Amino acid sequence: MSNTVSQLEIYRAKAVGSNVNAVTLLATDYLNHFNEALMLAELVVDMPDMLDDFATWMPKHYKDHFRESGIADKDLAIEAFDHSPSEYKEPFDSSVQMLNKQLALLQQVLQKERENLGDPDKQQFVRKKCQLIRSLIDKISGIINGQVSAQTATTAEKTDMSEENSNVPSAQTEVIEVSEGEMLDQADIDALFD
């Protein structure tokens, strides 16, 4: 156990003054990967021809992102990731998984409804889904910066349990607050596209 603590202390010392958070040992540069997808999804509302670009976006593991990154602290970000304390790493991993699922679901829905993207109801759906994605990115940013709450962990656990045996991204049992108490679930999606 002292070896683990020692490694944690070593990496925290290395992270001081770098792009890696010295407490969580995670780096916000990873969020650029998701911000790119969100930007493309938001553009689809006004520029449906951007759908092909959004549809080709793929999830990327944290370490893979940094392996391909040009930031100065990329090696530290990769090494420190395995030493991130579980109180940050677990909600981080769960939230990233949830975000990837939401992005994949949006890709699927937009591909299916490609010909109807000019419909105001469908555009409103895309805007709400983008708000949800933005809130998940913001939550992950908070985790990276050391802001972990019981609600963050609970929401992530519920999502993991509801989709534990599913290989297909789905929001069938998932209900997530979008903003101001507004909820978005699979029934909302079905109602828009039926």
Is position 13 within any domain? no
pLDDT tens-digit readout, 66-91:
999 999 999 999 999 999 999 999 99
Compare 5 and 118 and report the one with higher pLDDT: 118
Provide, rounded to the nearest whole percent, the portion of the chain with pLDDT above 70.
74
Regarding pTM above 0.85, the answer is no
CA–CA dist 40, 78 (Å, integer) = 27
Q: What is the chain's alpha carbon radius of gyration, rounded to the nearest angstrom?
A: 18
Which pLDDT value is given to residue 148? 78
Alpha helices (H) in 113-185, listed in sequence order: 120-144, 150-162
CA–CA dist 175, 6 (Å, integer) = 41
Is position 50 within any domain? yes
Q: How many domains is the chain built from?
A: 1
pLDDT tens-digit readout, 100-142:
999 999 999 999 988 888 888 888 999 999 999 999 999 999 9
Q: State the average pLDDT over residues 155-167.
A: 39
Q: Give yes or no for residue 183 having a pLDDT over 60.
A: no
Is position 63 within any domain? no
Which pLDDT value is given to residue 141? 97
Which pLDDT value is given to residue 193? 42
Angle at 7 between CA 77 and CA 94, to 5 degrees: 55
Is position 176 within any domain? yes
Is position 67 within any domain? no
Task: Give the position of tokens 């349990």.
Answer: 161
- Average pLDDT over the chain reads 81
CA–CA dist 122, 192 (Å, integer) = 6
Is position 132 within any domain? yes
Is position 12 within any domain? no
Give me the domain span that covers residue 52. 31-57+86-193
Is position 3 within any domain? no
CA–CA dist 130, 128 (Å, integer) = 5
pLDDT tens-digit readout, 41-66:
999 988 988 999 999 999 999 999 99
